[in-house]
C-alpha cells in the first residue's frame, strides 16, 4: 500500500517560486488500478514523480507498506525502484543508442535471479516483433511509447507508474496497449497508477483521483471496471 | 542572437589555451627580435655562442608550444562547434525549416572566434607585462647589451588578429559544413545515433555489456576527444618537464605550470563532455534502479582504455617532436644539448594523469548522484 500524507512541492526560487503540489494526501491499495485525471499543468506528472520516489517532496511523507520513503538515502531509493517500481514516461526517454530489444532488456535484466527471459514475448505483445533491431530514432512516436511500455513491463514491477501511456497512440493501438497492461495486471497482480487526461480511461480504474491546480478536487471509486474495449475513446 | 553568453562561457578553455600559447610565443619571439637588433654589439666569442643558443632555444620553444597549442585549439574549437550543433539541433533545424539559409545560420558562429580573441589578447598583454623580467633573466650572465622590450606591431598582429580571424572562419565554415544535413536530421532528437551492425548484434548479451559497447560506438567524436585530451595531457606535461632543461631556471616553473594548467583544462573538458553526453542514460538507469557502480561501470568506464591509448601516443609524440626540433635547430651547433627520453617525467605525468582522471570522474559521479533524476532528463 502506498500512502501519501500532506505532500507539498515547489518549483522555482524567490519571486518565481510557486507551489505545484498543495498538501496532497492519498492512499493507493495494492493491486488496484488508480487513475489520476486533471487538466494540463495541474501537477499530475509532478505528483506521479513524487509518489514514485523519483523526486523528493518539499514537505510531507510517503509510506510504502508503512515505511517512510522520504527518509531513505539515495541508494536506498535506487534499491526500492529496482525491486518494485516500473515507469512509463510521457516523453518515453528511451536510450537512443540502444535498439528496441536492448532497451527492453534494460528492464528485463533487473528481474531476479537471472533476468526476465520472456522479454521477446512482451515486445511481440505490444506489436513490435518486427522491429527488434530498430533504434528509437527510426521509430514513430507511438512505437517508441510501446517500447517504453514493454521496457517497464519486462521489469515485472510490483507497482507500475504510467504518465500518459496512450498519449501518442491511435485508438486501436491505445486500446491494445491498455488491454495488455490489464491482462498482465490480472496475471501478476501489480498495482497500476496512471496519469491521463482522457476521461474515458478513468472508467477502467478502481479509483479515480481528480486534480486541479495542485490540489485533489475529487476522489471516487468505480463499482464496476470496464475493459479497454468497452470504454469510449 | 542565436549563440548566448552561456555558450560562450563554455569556450573558456579555448581562451586559456590561446592565452598560454600566445604568452609563451610572444615572450620568446619578441626577445628574439629585440636581441637580433643588437647582435652586432655582442663582441665576446662567449657571448656569440650563448647568443646562438638562446635564439635557437627560443625557436624550439615557440615551435613546439605554439604548434602544439594551435593544433589543440583547432581540435577544441571544432569539437565545440560540433557539440553545439548536435545539442542545439532542434533550434537550428527550426531555423532551417523556416527558410533561413545555411550560410546565414552558420554566419552566427563567428562569435566562437571571440574566445580566441580574448585569449590571445590577454596572453599578449601578459607577455608584454612580464617581458622586463624575462629580458633580465635571459641575460643573466650579463653577456649581452642591456635591452628594453620593444612593442612590435607586426608581431601583435600575427599573434592576435591572425588567429582570431582564422578561428572565426574555421567556426563558420565548419558550422556551414555541418548544417548541410537535412532539416529532419537536425530536428530528430536521436539523430546522432549511427551504429553499424556488428558481429555482436545477434548474440543475446546482457544489457550492461551491450550498453558499454554501444556507448562507445554511437559517439565516436566523443571517444576521439577523450583520447585526444589524454594525448594532450601526456604530451603537455612531459614536454614542459623536458623543456625545463632547455630554458632558463626562472622560466622552467612557468612552463611547467602552463603545461599543467592546459593538461588539466583539456582533461576536465573532455570528461565534462563524457558525463554530460551520458547524463540522460545514467538518469534513466537510475530510474530503473541500476546502482551507481553499474552506471559508471557500463557507461563511463568504457572510455578508460581510450585514455591510456591517447596517453601512450602523446608520450611518443612529445618525445619525437622535441627530438626533431632540437636536431633541426641545433644542427650546426657544436655543443648540441643532449636530449634523451625522460622517464622521470613520464612517471610523474602518468601518476598525475591517473589521479586527475579518477578524481574528476568521482566528483562528477557524486554530482550526478545528487541531482534529481528529472532535472538531468530535462536538460
Ligand atoms: N522543473 C520544473 N521547474 C519549474 N516548473 C515546473 C517544472 N516542472 C513542472 N513545472 C510546472 O509545474 C506545473 C505542473 O507540471 P506537471 O508536469 O506536473 O503538469 P501535468 O499535470 O503533468 O501537465 P500535462 O498534462 O501537460 O503533462 C506546471 O505549471 C509546470 O509549468
Ligand atoms: Mg504531465
Neighbour order of strands in the sheet with A18-28: A18-28, A2-11, A59-64, A67-68
Model confidence pLDDT, tens digit, residues A75-116? 898 889 999 999 998 888 899 889 999 999 999 999 988 888
Q: Is residue B206 part of a domain?
A: no
Q: Is A46 in the pocket of ligand 1 (CB under 6 A)?
A: yes
Q: How many beta carbons lie within 10 A of that of residue B125, not counting itself?
A: 16
Q: Is residue B172 part of a domain?
A: yes
Q: Is residue B203 part of a domain?
A: no
Q: Which of residues 352-371 of B touch A (CB under 8 A)?
A: 369-370
For ion ligand 2, residues whose CB falls within 5 Å: A 45
Q: What integer pLDDT is reported at residue B250 of this predicted model? A: 64
Kind and range of the H or E element at B315? helix B304-329
Model confidence pLDDT, tens digit, residues B271-316? 888 888 888 888 889 889 998 888 888 888 889 999 999 999 999 9
Same-domain pairing of B5 and B130? yes
Same-domain pairing of B182 and B224? no
Task: Report the residue among A7, A10, A11, A22 best suited for mutation to probe ligand 1: largest number of ligand atoms under 8 A from its CB.
Answer: A11
Specify the pTM.
0.80
**Domains of chain B: total:** 2
Distance between CA atoms of B73 and B70, rounded to whole angstroms?
5
What kind of architecture, by CATH, is found in domain A31-56+74-221? 3-Layer(aba) Sandwich (3.40)
Contact B113, B171 (CB under 8 A): yes
The answer to whether A105 contacts chain B (CB < 8 Å) is yes
Task: Break chain A into its structural domains and give their ranges.
Answer: 31-56+74-221
CB contact under 8 A, B207 and A56: no
Q: If DSSP codes are grouped into helix, strand and coil, which group holds residue B116?
A: helix
Contact A85, B291 (CB under 8 A): no
Q: If DSSP codes are grouped into helix, strand and coil, which group holds residue A61?
A: strand
Same-domain pairing of B233 and B97? no
Q: Is residue B61 part of a domain?
A: yes
Model confidence pLDDT, tens digit, residues A175-220? 988 998 999 899 889 999 999 988 899 999 999 999 999 999 999 9
Q: What is the number of the ligand 1 atom nearest to the C-alpha of A11?
A: 4
Same-domain pairing of B180 and B240? no
On chain B, the residues whose CB falls within 8 A of the CB of A49 are 374
Same-domain pairing of B221 and B134? no
ipTM: 0.85
- B323 lies in which domain range? 212-373
Q: List the single residue in A with minimal CA-CA distance to B286.
A: A78
All 3 cell numbers of residue B49? 655562442
Same-domain pairing of B182 and B235? no
Amino acid at each position: 500500500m502506498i500512502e501519501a500524507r500532506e505532500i507539498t512541492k515547489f518549483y522555482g526560487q524567490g519571486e518565481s517560486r510557486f507551489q505545484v503540489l498543495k498538501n496532497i494526501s492519498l492512499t493507493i491499495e495494492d493491486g488496484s488500478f488508480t487513475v489520476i485525471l486533471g487538466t494540463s499543468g495541474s501537477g499530475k506528472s509532478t505528483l506521479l514523480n513524487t509518489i514514485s520516489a523519483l523526486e523528493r517532496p518539499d514537505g510531507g511523507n510517503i509510506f510504502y507498506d508503512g515505511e517512510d520513503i522520504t527518509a531513505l538515502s539515495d541508494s536506498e531509493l535506487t534499491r526500492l525502484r529496482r525491486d518494485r517500481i516500473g515507469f512509463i514516461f510521457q516523453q518515453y526517454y528511451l536510450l537512443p543508442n540502444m535498439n528496441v530489444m536492448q532497451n527492453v532488456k534494460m528492464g528485463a535484466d533487473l528481474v531476479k535471479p537471472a533476468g526476465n527471459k520472456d522479454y521477446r514475448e512482451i515486445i511481440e505483445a505490444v506489436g513490435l516483433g518486427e522491429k527488434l533491431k530498430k533504434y528509437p530514432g527510426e521509430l514513430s512516436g507511438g512505437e517508441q511509447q510501446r517500447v517504453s511500455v514493454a521496457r517497464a513491463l519486462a521489469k515485472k514491477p510490483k507497482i507500475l507508474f504510467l504518465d500518459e501511456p496512450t498519449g501518442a497512440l491511435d485508438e486501436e493501438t491505445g486500446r491494445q496497449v491498455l488491454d495488455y497492461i490489464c491482462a498482465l495486471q490480472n496475471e501478476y497482480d501489480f498495482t497500476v497508477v496512471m496519469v491521463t487526461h482522457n476521461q474515458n480511461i478513468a472508467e477502467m480504474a478502481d479509483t479515480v483521483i481528480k486534480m486541479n491546480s495542485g490540489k485533489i478536487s475529487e476522489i471516487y471509486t468505480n463499482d464496476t471496471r470496464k475493459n479497454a474495449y468497452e470504454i469510449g475513446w | 542572437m542565436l549563440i548566448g553568453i552561456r555558450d560562450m562561457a563554455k569556450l573558456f578553455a579555448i581562451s586559456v589555451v590561446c592565452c598560454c600559447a600566445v604568452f609563451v610565443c610572444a615572450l620568446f619571439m619578441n626577445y628574439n627580435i629585440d636581441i637580433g637588433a643588437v647582435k652586432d654589439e655582442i663582441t665576446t666569442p662567449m657571448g656569440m655562442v650563448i647568443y646562438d643558443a638562446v635564439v635557437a632555444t627560443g625557436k624550439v620553444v615557440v615551435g613546439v608550444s605554439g604548434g602544439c597549442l594551435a593544433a589543440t585549439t583547432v581540435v577544441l574549437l571544432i569539437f565545440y562547434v560540433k557539440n553545439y550543433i548536435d545539442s542545439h539541433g532542434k533550434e537550428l533545424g527550426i531555423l532551417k525549416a523556416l527558410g533561413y539559409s545555411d550560410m546565414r545560420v552558420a554566419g552566427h558562429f563567428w562569435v566562437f572566434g571571440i574566445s580566441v580573441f580574448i585569449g590571445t589578447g590577454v596572453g599578449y598583454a601578459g607577455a608584454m607585462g612580464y617581458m622586463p623580467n624575462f629580458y633580465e633573466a635571459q641575460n643573466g650572465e650579463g653577456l649581452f647589451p642591456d635591452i628594453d622590450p620593444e612593442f612590435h606591431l607586426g608581431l601583435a598582429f600575427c599573434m592576435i588578429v591572425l588567429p582570431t580571424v582564422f578561428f572565426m572562419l574555421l567556426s563558420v565554415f565548419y558550422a556551414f559544413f555541418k548544417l548541410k544535413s537535412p532539416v529532419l536530421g537536425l530536428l530528430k532528437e536521436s539523430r546522432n545515433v549511427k551504429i553499424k551492425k556488428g558481429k555482436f548484434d545477434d548474440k543475446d548479451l546482457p544489457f550492461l555489456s551491450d550498453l558499454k559497447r554501444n556507448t562507445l560506438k554511437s559517439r565516436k567524436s566523443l571517444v576521439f576527444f577523450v583520447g585526444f585530451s589524454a594525448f594532450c595531457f601526456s604530451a603537455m606535461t612531459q614536454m614542459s618537464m623536458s623543456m625545463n632543461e632547455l630554458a632558463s631556471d626562472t622560466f622552467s616553473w612557468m612552463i611547467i605550470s602552463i603545461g599543467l594548467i592546459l593538461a588539466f583544462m583539456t582533461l576536465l573538458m573532455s570528461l565534462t563532455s563524457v558525463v554530460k553526453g551520458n547524463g540522460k542514460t545514467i538518469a534513466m538507469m537510475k530510474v530503473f534502479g541500476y546502482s551507481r557502480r553499474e552506471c559508471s561501470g557500463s557507461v563511463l568506464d568504457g572510455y578508460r582504455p581510450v585514455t591510456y591509448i591517447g596517453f601512450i601516443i602523446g608520450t611518443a609524440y612529445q618525445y619525437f617532436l622535441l627530438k626533431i626540433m632540437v636536431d633541426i635547430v641545433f644542427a650546426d651547433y657544436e655543443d648540441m644539448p643532449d636530449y634523451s627520453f625522460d622517464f622521470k617525467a613520464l612517471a610523474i605525468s602518468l601518476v598525475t594523469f591517473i589521479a586527475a582522471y579518477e578524481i574528476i570522474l568521482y566528483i562528477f559521479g557524486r554530482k550526478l548522484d545528487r541531482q534529481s533524476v528529472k532535472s538531468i532528463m530535462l536538460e
